[in-house]
């Protein structure tokens, strides 16, 4: 395929997603031009998904289009920013119009839902990889950072943890997708960015992060940035029924706590704001669960209901990747 | 290498380049936060360079760091925007500290020179590729688009055309870099983005583009977007001595006209602004050469000094890539 055909792909993506009045010039010139409203700051994040590392090479392209945008929207959610514009750098071994149509459908559906307009991009030939940069807006001086947690704050997580990891685990054990519960697969392939939660928390949470590398690692980033420690109660960690069964039948708590890809939010909250979060959870129909408390003593302590300390065998995402064929060579 | 080691690479790049007061939060949280000054619009562009496609796999990493930023700065130059912030998505097969140090040195040197701060990024494992997104600032309502050329406008190019292509041609013929004139190699590996020219032209040029796909293709974009045609004079096209020799000894005019990678600017100008450009050329010590004129009749006509029409054998960049081993499979 010639390079000019790749240019046509770019045209294919022009204007994908929502249509926004603050876009002065979208896809098709040397640069896109946008207008940041007065009093607002720009929040931005860039993420790459690589075939064989972050997704299986036989990935459903519609799901990949969704996920490439979702992981970026999740970063905006963790900051409490309103989604605005995206750019897309897509590297493809060859151009397959069916694949491209499905990819752009998945991307566009999520983009429209959150009012995101695709304003620029680059399409190149090479090993399959997708880089998305997302741009969001925040009132000046706001934005939830990782560094604001204080001793006494409560620790919450949205949704349930470990579903994506369990789906991945099944697939890595050689099961075909047909044998993996579709709800679990959805959680791995089509994570739902918690944008509304992030916006609602912006003025009340003291710190926030999205759980892309596992709760232990990501809460660890908050503790490190905030210079404090924490205790969480394992019996309060929200998990689905399949994850509960897996935990009890040998996978252990590292399944929901150390594995990534859930894209839920973890945040800390001054206790006075407790009722606000309870009402938010009810109004969104989404579990938002208090799992622990920020403490002065550095380090993260995970305890069972009886008070016994649980030690994570391996504190992070890597554990689940050491035998992960998606890693490639 | 584990993923957390890749996180460390990211830390390695934190704060690279200039230090800017409009950066509220740089590398290290879920998002970067920046403040766009009142009255300014944001110009942005994203570009990917893939190993084996856009550069040789044995590339000098310092040159790659330079070029990955330079091709993006060139897009800002074509818009007339002031460089501000960059994000970097780097995909690496493995982490080599010497390679990374050289890459970041090349990136940082150019970033500092243009006051660009690296504010975010993502480092992933996979086949070598570099994606940079650049962000620049423009007074609201300004910015040189491709669509503003009008019949009677003069057509200019900066610098000289074809050096990068000639260097590539030598290398593709099996010559080692030692045998390629170093000035030519520099032009391929370390293009100089014409940012100052773009800023100076912002209020006087009617249209502009950077020459990444060859003059014929890129001027063609201006003509198409502006709904007009043009005539250029081959004897006025500025070329270096090695390119002139190559053109005359068989490579033909397609060498400087149809090959990309020069990253010079092509722009159109109302004739009344002619003296301004002459002064600009003198003050910058950079050739800015008038090569033709915008006409009403659609299409691009290239003519010899005697008025004979020259027909490009193949109108674009692809020609030089059809046998290009950088293309991979």
Q: Which two structure tokens, joined as six digits, stand for A108?
A: 């566009």
Cβ contacts of A78 on chain B, cutoff 8 Å: 30-31
In a domain, B146, yes or no: no
- The residue of B1, B25, B31, B226 whose CB has the most chain A CBs within 10 angstroms, and thus the best one to mutate to test that interface, is B31
Contact between A129 and B126 using a beta-carbon 8 Å cutoff: yes
**Inter-chain residue contact A76 with B316, CB threshold 8 Å:** no
Q: What is the pLDDT of residues A105-114, one digit of tens each?
A: 999 999 999 9
Residue B5 has pLDDT above 70, yes or no: no
Please give the tally of structural domains in chain B.
2
A-B C-beta contacts closer than 8 Å: 203
Contact (CB<8Å) B146/A29: yes
Residues B163 and B127 in one domain: no
Chain A interface mutation, best of B9, B26, B30, highest count of A Cβ atoms under 10 Å: B30
Q: Give the residue on B whose Cα is nearest the Cα of A316.
A: B4
A318 is a domain residue: yes
Higher-pLDDT residue of B277 and B141 is B277
Query: Is B42's CB within 8 Å of A30's CB?
Result: no
> Are residues A115 and A173 both part of a single domain?
no
Domain end residue (candidates: A92, A111, A139): A139
Give the pLDDT confidence of B102-117 residue by residue, as tens digits: 999 999 999 999 999 9
Say whether pLDDT at A57 is over 70.
yes
Residue of higher predicted confidence among A202 and B13 = A202
- How many Å lie between the alpha carbon of B260 and the closest alpha carbon of chain A? 12
The tens digit of pLDDT for each residue in A280-326 reads: 999 999 999 999 999 999 999 999 999 999 987 755 434 334 334 34
For position A129, which CATH number holds?
Answer: 3.30.1330.10
pLDDT confidence of residue B259: 76
Residue B89 belongs to some domain of the structure = yes
Do B313 and B166 fall within a single domain? yes
Q: For position B171, what pLDDT does the model report? A: 85
pLDDT tens by residue, A142-174: 999 999 999 999 999 999 999 999 999 888 887
Q: What is the mean pLDDT of residues B258-281?
A: 94
A81, A115, A139: which is the final residue of a domain? A139
Measure in Å the smallest separation between the Cα of A95 and chain B Cα atoms.
14
Contact B44 A87 (CB under 8 A): yes
- Same domain flag for A100 and A188: no
Which of A11, A25, A29 is the best residue to mutate to test the B interface, defined by the most B CB atoms within 10 Å of its own CB?
A29
Does A214 fall in a domain? yes
Q: Are residues B168 and B91 in the same domain?
A: no
Q: Is the pLDDT of residue A88 over 90?
A: yes
Mean pLDDT of the A216-227 span? 95
Q: Is residue A145 part of a domain?
A: no
Local confidence band at B321 (pLDDT 50, 70, 90 cut-offs): very low
Q: Are residues B206 and B252 in the same domain?
A: yes
Domain end, chosen from A80, A113, A139, is at A139
The reply to whether B199 and B51 lie within a common domain is: no
Q: Which of A26, A30, A52, A221 is most worth mutating to test chain B (most B CB atoms within 10 A of its CB)? A: A30
Shared domain check, B181 and B116: no
A148 in a structural domain: no
Cross-chain residue pair A145–B25, CB shorter than 8 Å: yes
Indicate whether B230 and B185 sit together in one domain.
Answer: yes
CATH of the domain at B163: 3.90.650.10
Residues of B in contact with A122 (CB under 8 A): 46-48, 131
Residue A177 pLDDT: 74
- Write the secondary structure of chain B as one string of H (helix), E (strand) and C (coil): CCHHHHHHHHHHHCCCECCCCCEEECCCCCCEEECCCCCEEEEEEEEEEEECCCECCCCCHHHHHHHHHHHHHHHHHHHCCEEEEEEEEEEECCCCHHHHHHHHHHHHHHHHHCCCEEEEEEEEECCCEEEEEEEEEEECCCCCCCCCCCCCCEEEEECCCCHHHHHHHHHHCCCCHHHCCHHHHHHHHCCCCCHHHHHHHCCCCCEEEECCCCHHHHHHHHHHHHCCEEEEEHHHCCCCHHHHHHHHHHHCCHHHHHCCCCCCEEEEECHHHHHHHHHHHHHHCCCEEEEEEEECCCEEEEECCCCCEECCCCCCCHHHHCCCHHHCC
From the CA of A152, how many Å to the nearest CA of chain B?
A: 22
B171 and B314 in a single domain? The answer is yes
Query: In chain A, which residues have their Cβ closer than 8 Å to the Cβ of B38?
Result: 38
CB contact under 8 A, B46 and A131: yes
Residue of B69 and B7 predicted with greater confidence: B69
pLDDT at A179: 72
Verify that A191 and A228 share a domain, yes or no. yes
pLDDT band, residue A1 (cuts 50/70/90): very low
Q: Which residue of B has its CA nearest to A148?
A: B29
pLDDT for A3 equals 46
Between chains, do A35 and B44 touch, taking CB under 8 Å as contact?
A: no
Domain-located, residue A304: yes
Is B71 in the same domain as B118? Answer: yes
For residues B110 and A17, which has the higher predicted lDDT (pLDDT)?
B110
CB contact under 8 A, A126 and B127: yes
Using CB atoms, pick whichever of A29, A121, A129 lies closest to residue B91.
A129
Within a domain: B145? no
ipTM, two decimals, is 0.89
Question: Tell me, what's the pLDDT at B4?
Answer: 54
* Domain encompassing residue B165: 154-324
> For residue A6, what pLDDT is reported?
56
Q: Which chain A residues have a beta carbon less than 8 Å from that of B47?
A: 89, 122
């Amino acid at each position: 395929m010639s390079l000019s055909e790749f240019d046509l792909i770019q045209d294919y993506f022009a204007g994908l997603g929502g249509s926004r009045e603050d876009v002065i010039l979208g896809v098709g010139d040397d640069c896109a031009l946008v207008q940041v409203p007065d009093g607002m700051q720009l929040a931005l994040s860039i993420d790459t998904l690589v075939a064989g590392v972050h997704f299986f090479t036989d990935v459903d392209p519609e799901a990949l289009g969704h996920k490439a945008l979702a992981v970026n929207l999740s970063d905006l959610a963790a900051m409490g920013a309103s989604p605005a514009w995206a750019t897309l750098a897509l590297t493809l071994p060859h151009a397959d119009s069916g694949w491209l149509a499905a990819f752009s459908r998945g991307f566009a559906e999520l983009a429209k839902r959150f009012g995101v307009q695709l304003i620029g991009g680059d399409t190149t030939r090479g090993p399959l990889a997708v880089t998305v940069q997302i741009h969001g807006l925040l009132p000046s001086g706001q934005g939830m950072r990782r560094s604001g947690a204080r001793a006494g704050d409560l620790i919450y997580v949205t949704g349930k943890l470990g579903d994506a990891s369990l789906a991945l685990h099944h697939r890595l054990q050689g099961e075909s997708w047909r044998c993996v519960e579709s709800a679990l697969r959805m959680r791995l392939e089509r994570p739902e960015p918690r944008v509304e939660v992030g916006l609602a928390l912006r003025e009340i949470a003291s710190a926030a992060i999205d759980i892309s590398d596992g709760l232990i690692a990501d809460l660890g980033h908050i503790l490190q940035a905030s210079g404090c420690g924490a205790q969480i109660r394992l019996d309060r960690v929200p998990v689905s029924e399949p994850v509960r069964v897996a935990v009890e039948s040998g996978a252990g708590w590292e399944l929901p706590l150390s594995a990534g890809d859930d894209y839920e939010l973890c945040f800390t909250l001054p206790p006075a704001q407790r009722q606000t979060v309870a009402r938010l959870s009810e109004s969104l129909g989404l579990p938002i669960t208090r799992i622990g408390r920020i403490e002065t003593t550095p380090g993260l302590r995970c305890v069972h209901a009886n008070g016994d300390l649980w030690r994570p065998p391996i504190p992070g995402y890597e554990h689940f990747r050491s035998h992960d064929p998606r890693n490639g060579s």
